[in-house]
């Protein structure tokens, strides 16, 4: 629970506003009711953004496709029902690639690959970025200087060059892409969290927590961090889409997963030389990338509107 001055007991030992005849149990019930009300209010504001709601539904569909790909796809991603390229038909909705694999099945399995890469890479980035930003913003001084200069150095290096270099050393695989994107995507998050901590640590509730004798780490992660999570949540939703797009870029440059992994970017890379005889080989995985990235961007936009206090006051 974040400490605020109103939640602290008075100097004379008089019970604070959360104490009362109902005792701790009554306070707990009140907290549950407040949390439920907050979620309802959040959902009410989120629903006002119709495109964000559509994007959320689309994301749920993608997750279902990824989880149940084995049951939904008519063929395995590496199965070859034919021996040559065929145009879209009732038997193969998206056609088959140059070695006879069903493109529709591979696009469905690709949802699993892309979501796994996007989500895991973003989790790694957020954890590193939040910890680095919190430490940098809270302690300041030489700690902030060292971390900030380290971030500046990495920001000055083109991300694609850094990612391709790491992938070349570690080898091409799905896990390599996750590690590359996770350990190169935390820099912007660190800046966001650092800025929030620099502002929040000067507020009265931090002084109150310090006066109560709480340790620095508790103040950082139990009192300041919850108040700094709003931009992180919004950025994380957008970062998942960015990671999926980055995976496609790495695969297109030949630094992503290897065949027969049904990564959308790899499918685009494989089909780029066959645009004239079989444009559908590139079209369907490319559309899947666009739709997925756009869904995460719209969800991030909806989260921003729902979490923004100014938007709350307007509604």
pLDDT digits (tens, 9 = 90+) for 65-108: 999 999 999 999 888 887 777 888 888 888 888 888 999 999 99
Of 219, 236, 221, the closest CA to residue 303 belongs to 236
Domain assignment present for residue 20? The answer is no
Q: What is the DSSP letter of 102?
A: B
In a domain, 21, yes or no: no
30-52: buried (b, 16+ CB within 10 Å) or exposed (e) per residue? eeeeeeeeeeeeeeebbeebeeb
Query: How many structural domains are present in the chain?
Result: 1
With respect to residue 14, please indicate whether it lies within any of the assigned structural domains: no
Q: Is 11 a domain residue?
A: no
pLDDT, average across residues 268-291: 86
Range of the domain at 292: 37-83+92-314
Tell the burial category of 162 from Cβ atoms under 10 Å away from its Cβ (0-12, 13-18, 19+): middle
Contact 134, 144 (CB under 8 A): no
Residue 206: pLDDT over 90: no
pLDDT of residue 214: 79
Give the residue carrying structure tokens 């079209």: 283
* Token pair for 227: 């108040």
DSSP code, position 10: P
Round to whole Å and give the CA distance between 226 and 185: 22
Closest CA to 240 of 111, 142, 153, 145: 111
pLDDT bin (cut points 50, 70, 90) of residue 34 is low
Whether the predicted pLDDT of 10 surpasses 60: no
How far apart are the C-alpha atoms of 136 and 151, rounded to whole Å?
Answer: 11
Q: Which among 177, 166, 175, 170 has a CA at the least distance from the CA of 251?
A: 177
pLDDT band at 138 (very low <50, low <70, confident <90, very high): confident
Whether residue 5 is contained in a domain is answered as: no
For residue 187, being part of any structural domain is answered with yes
Q: How many Å separate Cα 164 from the centre of its chain?
A: 22
Task: Classify residue 93 by burial, with Cβ atoms within 10 Å: 0-12, 13-18, 19+.
Answer: middle
Residues 137/195, Cβ–Cβ less than 8 Å: yes
- Tell me what pLDDT residue 56 has: 93
Quote the tokens at residue 74.
């008519």
SS3 7: helix
User: Which band of pLDDT confidence, cut at 50, 70 and 90, is reported for residue 60?
Assistant: very high
Cite the DSSP H helix spans in the chain. Answer: 23-47, 50-67, 69-72, 103-139, 141-155, 159-170, 174-184, 187-200, 204-211, 216-218, 225-252, 264-271, 280-307, 309-314
Report the pLDDT value the prediction gives residue 28, as an integer from 0 to 100.
Answer: 47
pLDDT grade for 310, boundaries at 50, 70 and 90: low
- Of 104, 113, 65, which Cα lies nearest the Cα of 82? 104
* C-beta separation of 222 from 2 below 8 A: yes
In a domain, 76, yes or no: yes
* 104 lies in some domain: yes
Contacts of 266 (CB under 8 A, 6+ apart): 251, 256, 257, 258, 259
Match 């953004």 to its residue by tokens.
49
The model scores a pTM over 0.85: no
**In whole angstroms, what is the distance from residue 296 CA to residue 169 CA?**
31
Which CATH number goes with the domain that contains 217?
A: 1.10.3720.10
């Amino acid at each position: 629970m974040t400490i605020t001055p109103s939640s602290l007991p008075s100097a004379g030992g008089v019970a604070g506003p959360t104490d009362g005849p109902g005792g701790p149990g009554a306070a707990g019930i009140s907290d549950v009711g407040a949390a439920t009300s907050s979620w309802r209010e959040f959902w009410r504001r989120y629903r006002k953004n119709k495109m964000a709601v559509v994007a959320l539904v689309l994301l749920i569909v993608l997750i279902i496709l990824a989880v149940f790909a084995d049951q939904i796809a008519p063929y395995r991603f590496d199965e070859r029902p034919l021996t040559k390229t065929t145009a879209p038909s009732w038997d193969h909705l998206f056609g088959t690639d140059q070695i006879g694999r069903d493109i529709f099945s591979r696009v469905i399995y690709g949802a699993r690959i892309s979501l796994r890469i996007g989500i895991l890479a973003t989790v790694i980035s957020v954890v590193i970025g939040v910890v680095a930003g919190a430490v940098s913003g809270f302690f300041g001084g030489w700690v902030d200087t060292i971390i900030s200069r380290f971030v500046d150095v990495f920001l000055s290096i083109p991300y694609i060059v850094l990612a391709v270099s790491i992938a070349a050393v570690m080898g091409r695989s799905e896990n390599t892409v996750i590690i590359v994107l996770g350990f190169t995507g935390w820099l912007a998050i660190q800046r966001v969290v650092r800025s929030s901590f620099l502002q929040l640590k000067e507020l009265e509730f931090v002084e109150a927590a310090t006066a109560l004798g709480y340790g620095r780490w508790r103040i950082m992660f139990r009192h300041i961090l919850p108040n700094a999570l709003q931009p992180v949540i919004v950025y994380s939703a957008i970062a998942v889409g960015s990671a999926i797009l980055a995976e496609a870029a790495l695969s297109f440059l030949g630094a992503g997963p290897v065949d027969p992994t049904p990564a959308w970017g790899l499918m685009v890379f494989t089909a780029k030389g066959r645009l004239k005889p079989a444009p559908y080989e590139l079209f369907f995985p490319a559309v899947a990338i666009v739709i997925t990235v756009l869904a995460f961007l719209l969800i991030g936009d909806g989260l921003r509107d729902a979490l923004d206090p100014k938007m709350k006051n307007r509604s």
